[in-house]
Structure 1
Amino acid sequence: MVDAVMERDDLALTASAHEIEETGEWVFEATCDRPPDVEAFNALAQQVLGGAVEFSVEPIDPEINWVAKSLEGLAPVTAGGFYVYGSHETGPIPAGLTPMKIDAAQAFGTGHHETTTGCLEAIEMLLASTTPQRVIDVGTGTGVLAIAVAKRIGGKILATDIDPIAVMTTIENARENGVADNIDAIEATGLDHSEIAARLPYDLIIANILAGPLTELAPGMGGIAQSGGTAILSGILNTQADGVIAAYELAGFRLVDHLKRKDWTTLVLEKR
């Protein structure tokens, strides 16, 4: 249910579920930035769970950043050779890992979701054999993936997002992680921005968004990618992977790797 809700951007900002050990019942919680569409939640529950779920609506204090609050206290994540942690973490950073301090924010990307860990693992594998020169992170969220690349290879990385809050979050996180000079964060819808055009072709494209937008962007991705360049794509349910692969094959890419983490897919493709 959580994955189904988070696949849609019209229902909730965050969603989570936990089991009550004493009864075996599951509690589902979603945080919305407007009065929730209970009928839509019910319809999704019927579709995903095959039965009715009892939903209740409770108002929240608008002065509290509930997105951040819901993610406070999350344990650090190790993905590939990267160690992603929040400022609440006081333990030592494990030796041999590249640390990134990413606090919960009003943007996607704390390292805990399978789409982010899949991308970090794909980045780790790619950087073991090559050093990209022109990198773009489309839909950067907190900037975690752009920061990962910057901390490993330096250089200049273009990070874009449709959400101005995500752009500001990326700038702040880049500064916090000591790579502010390496990351240029801009507000852009898709690939439609003069700064994106000015820097092409790209030999590494990263996009952790959703299957629908990724499919729509496929022709444009093919247009900005350098021959032999790599695209790392995620935000894709395993059931959606074949459709995304087909769209990118039509755009001139070939599939190199297909990483599956629970219900989620990360694709590594090469521009032919």
Structure 2
Amino acid sequence: MKALPMSVDQLSAPLTKEQAYALVDAVMERDDLALTASAHENEETGEWFFEATCDSPPDLESFSELARQTLGGAVDFSVSPIDPEINWVAKSLEGLAPVIAGGFYVYGSHETGPIPGGLTPMRIDAAQAFGTGHHETTTGCLEAIDKVLKRRRPRVLLDVGTGTGVLAIALAKRLRLPVIASDIDPIAVTTTIENAQQNGVGKFIIGIEATGLTNPTIAGNAPYDLIVANILAGPLTALAPAMGRVAGRGATIILSGILQHQARGVINAYQRQGMILTEKLQRKDWTTLILEMR
């Protein structure tokens, strides 16, 4: 984690768990709003909060606009100064339990208990990138990956918007094949490569900083048998034509980061590219789609 500037503020707002995680996702898609963003539960009251650590002063107008776009309404943010010496990313993971999804066991280095047998372990620590396995979009993707790999063995693999690399690492661990893992954020790419090395699959992960799918490495390795993308509904919809160009015939496409009311729009965008919905996984307010290229 990079050193925080001398003047740092914490911006927070009480939200539902789903809203807090959705706003975290949206903030982490940007590189101009926050140093870190996380969702927290008050153990005494059960109330959930969105929190972001920002250079002082935070851009409240941009946060408010992003909240309206992401959540569909106004959010009342509060701002308070914090100690810049505190590692707020690591603090956000204190006490978080391991996650089991799709036969994968996702845990942080703070977890000292034994790894259960019969599961595929992945150590993913907090970082300046999204994807520790605790969000419903990530667990939905891990379950979708497990379902797909029980039916077929894809060989040409792409993870778009890799974040911490959790999905790319999951594929590499199960298939022992190369996975191209791309992200628009160079910090996410670095984090993915480090996590892959820590999980013993560094030689399989090809980390690429890229916007969209026109990067020469991504385009040059097409067509893909399996594409996973856990980002947001808006970017997923915009990427549909490009996905259609790089997906091979019969390819499986796993999409997440989609609120339930957004699913129909995403499905329609991909159907126009010849991709047919085969399964929909719903986890609380979130939807993971499994599509097939016809």
TM-score normalised over the length of structure 2: 0.84
Answer yes or no: is 1:148 the counterpart of 2:170: yes
- Give matches, 1:105-254, under 5 Å: 105-254=127-276
In the TM superposition, what is the alpha-carbon distance from 1:39 to its structure 2 partner? 5.8
**Which runs of 5 or more structure 2 residues have no equivalent in the other structure?**
1-14
Deviations 1:196-224 (A, max 9, x none): 01100000001000111000000000000
Q: What's the secondary structure of 1:68's corresponding residue?
A: helix
- Give matches, 1:12-51, under 5 Å: 13-19=36-42, 21=44, 26=47, 28-34=49-55, 35-38=57-60
The alignment covers a number of residue pairs equal to: 268
In the TM superposition, what is the alpha-carbon distance from 1:4 to its structure 2 partner? 4.7
In the TM superposition, what is the alpha-carbon distance from 1:32 to its structure 2 partner? 3.2
Which range is displaced more, 110-119 or 185-194? 185-194
162 and 40 in structure 1: CA distance in 2 versus 1, 3 angstrom threshold: closer
Deviations 1:23-65 (A, max 9, x none): x5846341133333446767859x9698985x43222333444
52 and 193 in structure 1: CA distance in 2 versus 1, 3 angstrom threshold: closer
In 1, the alpha carbon distance for the partners of 2:47 and 2:60 equals 18
Contact (CA 8 Å) 2:24, 2:39: kept in 1 or not? no
In 1, the alpha carbon distance for the partners of 2:94 and 2:156 equals 34
Contact (CA 8 Å) 1:68, 1:106: kept in 2 or not? no
- Output the amino acid matched with 1:271: M
Q: What's the secondary structure of 2:79's corresponding residue?
A: coil
Contact (CA 8 Å) 1:139, 1:159: kept in 2 or not? yes
239 and 104 in structure 1: CA distance in 2 versus 1, 3 angstrom threshold: same
In 1, the alpha carbon distance for the partners of 2:174 and 2:121 equals 10
**Which runs of 5 or more structure 1 residues have no equivalent in the other structure?**
none
Q: What's the secondary structure of 2:266's corresponding residue?
A: helix
Which range is displaced more, 8-17 or 184-193? 8-17
137 and 32 in structure 1: CA distance in 2 versus 1, 3 angstrom threshold: same
In the TM superposition, what is the alpha-carbon distance from 1:5 to its structure 2 partner? 2.3
Contact (CA 8 Å) 1:20, 1:27: kept in 2 or not? no
> Which residue of structure 1 aligns with residue 123 of structure 2?
101
In 1, the alpha carbon distance for the partners of 2:74 and 2:223 equals 49
Name the % identity. Answer: 62
> Which residue of structure 2 aligns with residue 6 of structure 1?
24
In 1, the alpha carbon distance for the partners of 2:22 and 2:62 equals 12
In the TM superposition, what is the alpha-carbon distance from 1:7 to its structure 2 partner? 5.0
Answer yes or no: is 1:83 the counterpart of 2:101: no
- Give matches, 1:63-82, under 5 Å: 63-82=85-104
TM-score normalised over the length of structure 1: 0.90
Contact (CA 8 Å) 1:31, 1:66: kept in 2 or not? no
Answer yes or no: is 1:59 the counterpart of 2:81: yes
48 and 118 in structure 1: CA distance in 2 versus 1, 3 angstrom threshold: closer
Contact (CA 8 Å) 1:16, 1:29: kept in 2 or not? yes
What is the CA RMSD across the aligned residues, in angstroms? 2.4
62 and 256 in structure 1: CA distance in 2 versus 1, 3 angstrom threshold: same
In 1, the alpha carbon distance for the partners of 2:151 and 2:164 equals 26
Deviations 1:179-205 (A, max 9, x none): 011111111111120000110000000
In 1, the alpha carbon distance for the partners of 2:75 and 2:156 equals 49
- Output the amino acid matched with 2:217: E
